[in-house]
Chain A
């Protein structure tokens, strides 16, 4: 198996996790930057629609690196799904598969189920819930909480900050409640 074929397979956690961890020293060393993605959403607000809100009145250009970083993530997503595209359908846990089949999810070819996430479904109640409402909660919640998985769970825990542990526990708890209690009900609709 040549190298590209090897890279095309899904990467196991013990390869990808440490690589993500190494992003922390990489950003510190190349310019004293702290890993964090959700702040980019705030910089976009500050740059495009500050509307005289004090929270958005700062010099966002000083944080431009963060916008370059997220554009990079977009480019990386494109490269990984073209040059290094996994040719096989996604392997998911049999327990999850049997549950999702009951909820009418039948597309297991790629990383996202097209039954829920596609332009045709967007204007249905489910589509609005999963794309629009879910997105709103991400943006509102990450800023209210002061960070996301990268800023709190990875960067915050790496620097042993207990408020980040509180935030991480909180968003894990929120995820558990949503995935186990609310989503089964909503997916059945």
Chain B
């Protein structure tokens, strides 16, 4: 029994490396419970397209300081996010399954600077961050599927070289 617990923990440790989005839910649900995330993703995708966040032009405008649009989007999203998280903490709001909502602090490492810079290059080149990649393909820019495959390859090579990179 004890070994089982240790294994679960080590699995959690590996999954939580280099990721903010850690799944802490202890509950086991049948797979179809995940369908709600499909709907959440669809709403997110619709917003990404309708706000033109998936547009290469909007990203160039942002980095060339030629439009306020993207700054308005990200800024107001962060403000609403901060208020929402404050609300959840203040009123100890629980999930729909009755679990407490937990927050874990993220540890700093130098990868956030090096990796951040590299991702910034990629963002300006393709006009997409990972979310918009999926939305662009859905919106009919089929060649972006190549960009997505290449991004998966990039993630894989990071995994391969991880031990050798400065963090």
* B-facing residues in A75-114 (Cβ within 8 Å): 75-81, 84, 86, 90, 92-93, 95-96, 100, 108, 111-113
Q: CB < 8 Å: which of A18, A31, A155 contacts B96? A: A31
Known contacts being A13-B68, A144-B114, A167-B112, is A178 close to B61, with CB within 8 Å? no
Q: Which of B22, B121, B136, B165 has the most CB of A within 10 A?
A: B121
Known contacts being A55-B14, A80-B45, A129-B125, is A119 close to B81, with CB within 8 Å? no
Q: Which residue of A lies closest to B29 (CB)?
A: A31
Decide if B129 touches A138 in the complex (CB within 8 Å). yes
Contacts of B160 in A (CB 8 A): 51, 53, 55
Contacts of A145 in B (CB 8 A): 18, 111-116, 118-119
Decide if A42 touches B159 in the complex (CB within 8 Å). yes
Decide if B19 touches A111 in the complex (CB within 8 Å). no
Known contacts being A20-B77, A137-B122, is A30 close to B40, with CB within 8 Å? yes
Decide if A29 touches B129 in the complex (CB within 8 Å). no
Contacts of A92 in B (CB 8 A): 57, 61
Query: Number of B residues whose C-beta is below 8 Å from A?
Result: 130
Size class of A's contact patch?
A: 35 or more
Q: CB < 8 Å: which of B48, B60, B78, B114 contacts A77? A: B48
Q: Write the nearest CB–CB distance from B71 to chain A, whole angstroms.
A: 8
Q: CB < 8 Å: which of B124, B130, B146 contacts A175? A: B124
* A-facing residues in B127-158 (Cβ within 8 Å): 127-131, 133-144, 146-158
Q: Which of B58, B147, B153 has the most CB of A within 10 A?
A: B147
Contacts of A118 in B (CB 8 A): 143
Decide if B45 touches A72 in the complex (CB within 8 Å). yes
Interface, chain B (partner A; CB < 8 A) = 11, 14-15, 17-25, 31, 33-64, 66-85, 87-88, 93, 95-97, 99, 101-103, 105-109, 111-131, 133-144, 146-160, 162, 165
17 more CB-based (< 8 A) A-B contacts, given A55-B14, A139-B157: A37-B131, A44-B152, A49-B156, A55-B160, A57-B14, A68-B37, A72-B42, A90-B55, A111-B54, A111-B136, A111-B139, A113-B57, A144-B114, A145-B118, A146-B20, A149-B130, A174-B117
